[in-house]
Structure 1
Amino acid sequence: MAAAAHDAGHQTSLGVDNRKLLMWIFLASECLFFGTLISTYLIFKGQSLVGPFPGDILDIPLTSTSTFVLLMSSVTMVLAVYGAQHGRLGLMRGMLVATILLGTTFLGFQVYEFRHFGHVGLNLGTNQFGATFFLMTGFHGVHVGVGVLYLTSLLLGSMRRSGLGKERALWVDTAGLYWHFVDVVWIVIFTIVYLIPE
């Protein structure tokens, strides 16, 4: 009876847990944030008077590989959520580790790309392409980094406690919402920046 009352205390009138609803609201605000960055990029991408220009510098095979890595992290995140929801602690932990490693690998690709662009003369102040590119992809990278830290905290928390209750499953599910959002944003950025550069 007390457990039912506790669960009811976290529910909205819509039957959605307050924490999950809060994540949805946060993600809606993030859509506006990234929408602004992407719109700014689209407005200014062809306005640069000096190079390097997108067609001169973008490495589509490398970024396609990093995109594949990030998309695979969505698959492992789905499996982590499944493990959490079905009480399979080992599966959840293993898939959280895989998601963390894939997210970190994606960040490694991004750091490599940023360093390479710096060596060939593109940085935040070079031209309008550089400014909008680094702001948009940099903020996305920060979001991936925050997601990696969030998943790491869930993983470490699961190792300190035995069992896997509804609370933990909800936190993993909420982390999954965030992670999938970050992946979807990257698909949009990848398409706009790399596949349609001019």
Structure 2
Amino acid sequence: MSQSTLSAHHAHDHEHEHSSHSVFGFWAYLMTDCVLFASLFATFAMMGHQFAGGPTAKDLFNLNDVAIETALLLTSSLTFGFAMIFAQRKKTGAVLAWLIVTFLLGAGFLWLELHEFAHLIAEGASPQRSAFWSSFFTLVGTHGLHVTLGMIWLIVLAVQMVAKPGMGERELRRLACLSLFWHFLDIVWICVFSFVYLASLV
């Protein structure tokens, strides 16, 4: 076997090993995020009725806006799925188009969330008002921060694809990791919608 062939095999093995380590590291990160959100949900559950005489969830929650937020985020997960399908087909242009749609849906979700926060604070339900609102803003705000980070990550990947066209194994791996992260945020939001908004109105 020639020296060039040996070098090619060595480079391939190194890339495969690096890929395995990257995927494992990302799964480890997701597990720590699971622990983080589980702790925040547990805290919210303990503070669920501690309003300190202030406004309650029934007074201020607007399920219509929250339903729109939910629809936007779930749809963004679908559009990211389309991006992954076209990534497997090596169609960079279509991938970028679906990533842009995903970004816009995420931006719409964040705008509605910030609008809700501003409304709650204006109505006297700031994080300092009671234990309930403190735990609410911490949980929902942490999820919103994760969505923001996901959108920044999305922009970085899109810029890299524009700067270096092509859809190799490294690009697919990066997209797959972000896809897992984005779908994870969807699952967390479904829990938020169910256990924070709906349960608080019962």
TM-score range, shorter chain: over 0.9
Equivalent of residue 6 in structure 1, options 8, 11, 19: 11
Task: Figure out how many residues of one structure are paired with residues of the other and give that number.
Answer: 196
CA deviation map 1:58-98 (0-9, x unaligned): 10011001100000000011111122222011111011111
Describe the shift of the 1:145–1:85 C-alpha distance in structure 2 as closer, same or farther (beyond 3 A). same
Q: Is the contact between residue 20 and residue 174 of structure 1 (CA under 8 Å) also seen in structure 2?
A: yes
- TM-superposed CA distance for 1:8, in Å, is 2.7
Q: Is the contact between residue 123 and residue 131 of structure 1 (CA under 8 Å) also seen in structure 2?
A: yes
Larger Rg: 2
Paired with 1:147 and 1:135, the residues of 2 have a C-alpha distance of 18
Give, as a single letter, the amino acid of the residue that structure 2 aligns with 1:58.
Answer: F
Matched, 1:135 2:138: yes
The match for 1:115 is 118
Paired with 1:103 and 1:23, the residues of 2 have a C-alpha distance of 22
Give, as a single letter, the amino acid of the residue that structure 1 aligns with 2:14.
Answer: G
Describe the shift of the 1:3–1:135 C-alpha distance in structure 2 as closer, same or farther (beyond 3 A). farther
The match for 1:52 is 55
Query: Hey, which bits of structure 1, 4+ residues long, moved more than 3 A?
Result: 1-7
Describe the shift of the 1:45–1:10 C-alpha distance in structure 2 as closer, same or farther (beyond 3 A). farther
Give, as a single letter, the amino acid of the residue that structure 1 aligns with 2:186.
Answer: D
- TM-superposed CA distance for 1:146, in Å, is 0.1
Q: 5+ unaligned residues in a row in structure 2: which ranges?
A: none
Paired with 1:17 and 1:151, the residues of 2 have a C-alpha distance of 22
Paired with 2:189 and 2:113, the residues of 1 have a C-alpha distance of 12
Describe the shift of the 1:190–1:46 C-alpha distance in structure 2 as closer, same or farther (beyond 3 A). same
Describe the shift of the 1:21–1:55 C-alpha distance in structure 2 as closer, same or farther (beyond 3 A). same
The match for 1:151 is 154
Paired with 1:17 and 1:94, the residues of 2 have a C-alpha distance of 29
The match for 2:129 is 126
- TM-superposed CA distance for 1:3, in Å, is 5.1
Q: Is the contact between residue 74 and residue 179 of structure 1 (CA under 8 Å) also seen in structure 2?
A: yes
CA deviation map 1:117-160 (0-9, x unaligned): 01111111001111000000001000000000000000011111
The match for 1:168 is 171
Q: Is the contact between residue 41 and residue 133 of structure 1 (CA under 8 Å) also seen in structure 2?
A: yes
TM-score of the pair, normalised by structure 2: 0.92
- TM-superposed CA distance for 1:179, in Å, is 0.6
Q: Is the contact between residue 10 and residue 18 of structure 1 (CA under 8 Å) also seen in structure 2?
A: no
RMSD: 1.6
Q: Is the contact between residue 85 and residue 166 of structure 1 (CA under 8 Å) also seen in structure 2?
A: no
